[in-house]
Structure 1
Amino acid sequence: MAKIGIFFGSTEGHTEGVVNKIQELFGDDAELVNVNSASADDMEPFPYLILACPTWEIGRLQEDWDGFIDEIEEVNYEGKKVAYLGLGDSDGYPDTFLDALGIIHDRIKDKGAKFVGAWPTDGYNFEASKGVVDGKFLGLAIDEDNQSDLTDARVRQWVADLKKEFT
């Protein structure tokens, strides 16, 4: 069984496209799980989790995550390492860019997990985000609407960083 569970929701395919790239770089160590049909029990076997959610409209969770958010509170995170991936539109929603990361993090931050994969805010144009803590994004920040030309390099760098953290 894979060691890394990549739990994602995707409406228009952008998040799914990015998690496919991440899974490809991790190879057999990673398994993709769409949250539209997942439960807390599906998260339990993985020592390493990547939670991938785009921010919709004005700071909302993607629709599949709306139905899954309560499930993540039921997971035993003791001994697990958790990383986040967020997608958003910094030009269209500069005041709520990647808020979904903060919404998810608030639900599990005190549940015993070790959080890894924070990402610099340099190179992004936004005003505010619940997904920023201590001056960094909680996880990899992807803006397919305005910076799609940077996605592949950002994904490669982040996965290289996570390979060191997921040991």
Structure 2
Amino acid sequence: MEKIGIFYGSTTGTTKDIASRIGKVLGVSARDIHDVGNADVNTVDNYDCLLLGSSTWGSGDLQDDWYDFIEKLKKKDLTGKRIGFFGCGDADSYPDTFCDALRVLYDDLQSSGCIFIGSYKPEDYYVTDSLINKDGEFVGLAIDEVNESDKTDTRIKSWTELIKAESK
């Protein structure tokens, strides 16, 4: 498997926790899990595969720490790097923008030269509109710790199996 770096933005700690849980399932060392609020964007050069995580705020906005980091990341040549997305949201209170931050990251990196991985057919979700890509799949792993925390471990396990298969 390729060298994986996990980069996340977290305000309340939920996305940080999910990043850590994903890291444990994939065998990613804690030193390879980075908070974008204090990470140097050049750190991405150390990895073949980047897993990018953000919670969604407001009307589908990125977590605040992502704004500076994504602007710098968009300027990098990410040709050949595999990039997957994960995020947290509240599908019950914000069904129209559930995990839309993933869509923002996905759209921002369209011209970066990267290869997107980790998209999947949404199963057992009652909100699916905001994250769908051109193939009718979620652009990344959507987690709802507010309303469906009982499904988180299963969703992480299923998604990380995709990541393992797509990052060889």
| Contact preservation (8 Å) 2:89, 2:143 | yes
Percent identity (aligned):
39
SS at match of 1:6: strand
- After the TM superposition, which residues 132-143 of structure 1 pair with which residues of structure 2 at under 5 Å, given as runs? 132-133=132-133, 134-143=135-144
Alignment of 1:97 with 2:102, yes or no, is no
SS at match of 2:46: coil
Q: Residue 9 of structure 2 aligns with which residue?
A: 9
Q: Residue 38 of structure 1 aligns with which residue?
A: 39
| Contact preservation (8 Å) 2:4, 2:28 | no
SS at match of 2:22: helix
Aligned partners of 1:39, 1:112: CA distance in 2, in Å? 20
Deviations 1:49-79 (A, max 9, x none): 0010111121111111123221111222111
SS at match of 1:119: coil
**Aligned AA (1:103):** V
| Contact preservation (8 Å) 2:90, 2:145 | yes
Q: Residue 59 of structure 1 aligns with which residue?
A: 60
- TM (norm. structure 2) is 0.91
Aligned partners of 2:65, 2:125: CA distance in 1, in Å? 26
Cα shift at 1:3: 1.1
Aligned partners of 1:79, 1:3: CA distance in 2, in Å? 13
**Aligned AA (1:144):** E
Cα shift at 1:28: 4.3
- Whichever structure has more strand as a proportion of its residues is 1
Q: Residue 81 of structure 1 aligns with which residue?
A: 82
Cα shift at 1:127: 6.4
Aligned partners of 1:63, 1:101: CA distance in 2, in Å? 13
SS at match of 1:56: coil
Aligned length: 165
Q: 1:54 to 1:28 in 2, by over 3 A?
A: closer
RMSD: 1.7
Cα shift at 1:126: 2.4
- TM (norm. structure 1) is 0.92
Aligned partners of 1:165, 1:91: CA distance in 2, in Å? 31
Q: After TM superposition, where is structure 1 displaced by more than 3 Å over at least 4 residues in a row?
A: none
